[in-house]
Every structure is written in C-alpha cells, then in structure tokens.
Amino acid sequence: MGSLLYPTYPMERTTLTHIPTDPEQTPAATEPSASRDAQSIANDVVARVLARAGTARAEGTTVHSAHDGEQLDLVERAALRRVAGLSTELDDVTEVEYRQLRLEKVVLVGIFPGGEAAAREADVSLRELAALAETAGSQVLDGLLQKRAKPDPGTFLGSGKAAELAEIVAASGADTVVVDTELAPSQRRGLEDIVKVKVVDRTALILDIFAQHAKSREGKAQVELAQLEYLLPRLRGWGESMSRQAGGQVGGAGAGMGSRGPGETKIELDRRRIRNRMAKLRREIAAMAPARETKRHDRKRHAIPNVAIAGYTNAGKSSLLNALTGAGVLVENALFATLDPTVRRSRTEDGRVFTYADTVGFVRHLPHQLVEAFRSTLEEVGDAALLLHVVDASHPDPEGQIDAVREVLAEIPGMDDVPEVVVLNKADVADPTVVGRVQRRERRTAVVSAHSGEGIAELRALIADALPRPAVEIDIVVPYSRGDLVHRVHENGELVGEEHLPDGTRLRGRVDAALAAELEDVAL
C-alpha cells in the first residue's frame, strides 16, 4: 500500500534564501540576517506541510487488497465521521446530519532550534501532526513554525509570536490550535488567553484518536485511564465559582461573614472524582488481565510460539497480517487505525502451529500515559518468540520511525531476549536507495509489500526458520486409545513419519519436553 500520507514534493517549492559565494561582494550585500534565513526555512516547511493537508482522511485514500476481506468495520467507523459545513445545533441540520460531527478547523504550531537538519526533522514531525489532526477529524488551515532554542515557559512561543498566531487564527477562521509537543498546563493556559481559541497539544490529540478508535472493553478502559491521567493536572478553574471561598479577615471587599464556604471547591471535587474513577479503571483493567494471561499460559503449555507484529503507526501492520493469514482485520490509511490487539493462528509449511499478534502502533513522543495504560497489552510482545518490526520504507525518515518504536519497546520487560526482524513494507512505492540504506543499518531485514504480495512468501519462510523447533526427538508407538496425544503431536510437534501398527500409531519426529514426557508414560 502506498504511503499516501507522505508524498514527495518537487524542489521548486523551496524558498530558502540563496547566499552568493563571490568573495568580492561585501558582507552586507551577501549575508542575510540569521532571523530572515530561519524564517524562510520555517515558511518552506509550513508550505510543504500545508500542500499535503487533507489527504489523511480523504475519501478513497485507503486501498485494499484481496487479503483484507470485506472490511465491514470501516462502515461503522465512518458513520460518525466529521464533515464540513455542519453545525451541531438541532435547528440547523436534519436528524441524520446531527449524528455527524462538525469538522474542526485547526492551525498547527511548532518550534525548531535552527539549521537544515532540525528543519528536516521539524518537517517530518509537522507533517505527522497534520496527519494526526486529520485522523482525529480536523481540517488543517494554516501553520506556524518558529526558530527558538527552547519553548517559552509562559506561552510556548513567546508573547510576540503568540500575538502573531492569534492574528493567523483570526484571519483563517480556525477554532483550534494544535501544538507539536506536550504543553505544560501553564503554557496551554497562557497561549489560550492570547489566541482566544482552544489549544490542544500533541498528547491530547493522540489520546483523542485512541478514544475514537477503541472498541473492546479493555481498550476503552485503557484509553479513559490515559485521558484522566493527562487531564488531572490540567483542570482549570474559571471565575469565583471555582475558587476557594474566603473566611476571616481578608483584603477583599465583601469577604468575611457570610462568605465562608464548605471547604472544598468545585475543582478539588473534580480532582477527587477523577482520582476515584482512575482507581476504579485500574481495578477493572487488572481484573481483565487474568483472561489474557490464561490464554498466554495456555499457548505456552501447548508450546505454541507467538510472532508479534509491532511498528510505527500506519506502517502497514494490519495489512501485513492480512497478507500473511487472510485475517481480514481492519485496514485504513489513517494513524492508529488498530488499537485492540488481534491474535490469529497460523501454520508453517512443515505443519508447526504458531500465532500472529497484531499490536497497537507507536509514534514519536508517544504519551507516557498511553504506554502505562497499554502496558498489559504490550506485554504480549515481550512474550513473543519472534518480533516482526514493520517499517514504512516509503516514509521520509524510516530510521527515525525505527528508533521511536525501539524507545517504547525498551520499556517492555523481556524484549531484550526476543529476536527481531525489520520488515520493510510498502516496497512497491519505496525508493530502492532508502531500502538499501536501512538494510545496511539493520542486522536482519525482509523487504515486502503487503499490498502487491511482493516478498510475502520469503517472509513466511524466514518466520518458519526463526521459530523455535521442538527439542526432544521421538520414535514411539502410541496406543489407539490415546488419539488425543497423536493429535497434539500433529498440532504442536514436527512430525517426520507416521505408521499405523496393529497395537497403535508409530510416531517419528520432534516434540517439546512436556509432550515427550506424556508420550513416554503411555508408550507401548
């Protein structure tokens, strides 16, 4: 599947200031100011980002293959999609239109420390932010990128640039500002006070997408827990109704007798309710864990190895799972289309049974609240016999994606012992030089296209070779009364020969130690 979120743009769009190199020219005539050069770099980045705005959620951008099945979940997901030109007022719309959500109009904001390398990183990050905003159901109208060594502690941008942002917001008619980092509560409040519209940071945007896409009971609980952890330090009181009522001798006029409150303000009450809700959600998630643990231990008991599919969001993990197994799980050209893990059973060419586990995608600066909330789900990766690390080979910065994923995986217990294969997906639309560069960087790779089927057979063979083989060799006769053990050898062992004798079934092959012990107990 092509990388529709990250198209390549011609160099003619570049508006970087050209600096002559003639030594006879005077410095005043040849060297532009540093601020002007940084501004031109920032303007160029924003222009490229805006040139691709609108593609992440555009109709027809999701291209399915025959492996993806009927994709009925897409109909449900599209039922409440945000649309342009609608209000949520009942007297403005029909009953059917009321079920759809108004398209938010956003302005993107970011900073970079200066220089070409930092500008390229800001370009990739801001494009990703635009795709996140569109996936959440927004229309990107404009952007602002500032050269700044570090964020302003009060308004993130500084008062002058924040005032410029307020003018851009007013001129474009935007109703939301999206900032490309996690804001401190004071920064968000300070920026909102200046721009006069809602300010959302990268973390809140990702949490919003997770809330839209979660389907399972556990997934919804995990997302709500992450949202509440993010919200708790960011509660904001408005006016005197949210402030602690004064008592005794105070400086304000009218205070004193008759103004003493019950002692707990509304904002304190909200905080207490949020903490109680978080405690309840943690108990619910903990209560759901044994079911997954039981399934995991059952697979271990029957020696069924697990192949975990992990990687950056929109790298094509679900498409790859469908290509390998025909599972028909939801595939959408959007970030974080898959939240609930999918486990599918498969079999190698020589008959060994194993499972694939498709996991939630990762992203740069993944909110730590989500990593904590989804830790129980991510532990599925730590117990895997093999990790397929799926990478979008057509992305402008595949190495950055790999590093971002490994940063999250490093927090999962047991990951150091799991062998990894870097699967370079979307090879049909990727630059061969980029693919070669990543192959030289990584120790073990596979080049595939889940859309066209290129390299899938080779990947299956690689998986079969990498999976652990049964350790104990057997040549044994099993009585016909224990057909269940014969069936388990077929399912979980590596059978070389089978012969039906008068007293029982002769089996030759390899099995795990636990099954070998059971076979020895009943052998003739």
pLDDT tens, 410-446?
A: 887 778 888 999 999 998 888 999 999 999 999 899 9
Exposed/middle/buried for residue 133 (C-beta within 10 Å: 0-12, 13-18, 19+): buried
Give the count of alpha carbons within 13 A of 262, CB side only: 7
pLDDT band at 88 (very low <50, low <70, confident <90, very high): very low
Beta carbons of 353 and 347 less than 8 angstroms apart: yes
Lowest mean pLDDT among 135-144, 260-269, 314-323, 503-512: 260-269
263/48 Cα distance (integer angstroms) = 54
Residue 17 has pLDDT above 50, yes or no: no
pLDDT band at 335 (very low <50, low <70, confident <90, very high): low
Strand-pair category, 342-347 with 353-358: antiparallel
As given in the structure block, the two tokens for residue 320 are 């790859």
336/357 Cα distance (integer angstroms) = 16
Beta carbons of 476 and 497 less than 8 angstroms apart: no
Residue 45: which residues within 8 A CB-CB, separation 6 or more?
112, 119, 122, 123, 126, 145
Residue 138 has pLDDT above 90, yes or no: no
Lowest mean pLDDT among 37-46, 275-284, 346-355, 500-509: 37-46
pLDDT of residue 458: 92
Beta carbons of 68 and 331 less than 8 angstroms apart: yes
Tell me the residue ranges of DSSP E strands in 288-432.
306-311, 342-347, 353-358, 386-392, 420-425
Instruction: Provide the phi-psi class of 60: left if phi over 0, else alpha when psi is between -120 and 50, else beta.
Output: left
Selection from 51-55, 216-220, 327-331, 473-477 with the highest mean pLDDT: 473-477
Exposed/middle/buried for residue 522 (C-beta within 10 Å: 0-12, 13-18, 19+): middle
pLDDT of residue 336: 66
- Give tens-digit pLDDT for 464-480: 888 887 778 888 888 88
> Average pLDDT, whole number, for the chain?
76
Beta carbons of 287 and 338 less than 8 angstroms apart: no
**Neighbouring C-beta atoms of residue 238, cutoff 10 Å:** 9
- Higher-confidence residue of 232 and 423: namely 423
Tell me the residue ranges of DSSP E strands in 21-137.
104-112
Beta carbons of 178 and 144 less than 8 angstroms apart: no
pLDDT of residue 417: 82
Residue 53: which residues within 8 A CB-CB, separation 6 or more?
130, 134, 139, 140
- Give tens-digit pLDDT for 385-417: 899 999 999 888 899 889 988 988 888 777 888
Selection from 25-34, 67-76, 316-325 with the highest mean pLDDT: 316-325
pLDDT band at 240 (very low <50, low <70, confident <90, very high): very low
Residue 29 has pLDDT above 60, yes or no: no
Percent of the chain surpassing pLDDT 90: 16
| Cα distances (angstroms) measured from residue 491 to each of 229, 297, 304, 472, 508 | 44, 17, 9, 15, 14
Would you say the C-alpha torsion 225, 230, 233, 239 has a positive or negative sign? negative
Residue 443: which residues within 8 A CB-CB, separation 6 or more?
none
Structural domains of the chain sorted by starting position, each given as residue range(s) with its CATH number in brackets: 37-53+80-213 (3.40.50.11060), 285-466 (3.40.50.300), 472-522 (no CATH)
Q: How far apart are the first and last CA of the chain?
A: 55
234/222 Cα distance (integer angstroms) = 19
Beta carbons of 348 and 354 less than 8 angstroms apart: yes
